[in-house]
Amino acid sequence: MAEHFARLGRNEELIAMANKALDIWSVDLSAHRNEIARTTFFKSRLFEATGKA
């Protein structure tokens, strides 16, 4: 879904979705560490692409 929004240029929505996912996964850091790492990496790539880095 994120890649679909990225192709459409809906970057602000992507950032909001990534933030929401990180909030949800932060409930249990050890159980969701892979998802947290993946989402954080995706968010950093998004910031770099939009010049918000």
Helix (H, G, I), strand (E, B) or coil at 46: helix
27 alpha-carbon distance from chain centroid: 16
Count of domains for the chain:
1
Domain that holds residue 31: 2-50
Tokens of 27: 């409930």
Please state, in angstroms and as integers, the Cα–Cα distance from residue 39 to each residue in 7, 10, following that order. 17, 17
Name residues of the chain where pLDDT drops below 70: 53
Taking the whole predicted model, whether its pTM rises above 0.85 is answered as no
- Rounded CA-CA distance 46/29 in Å is 23
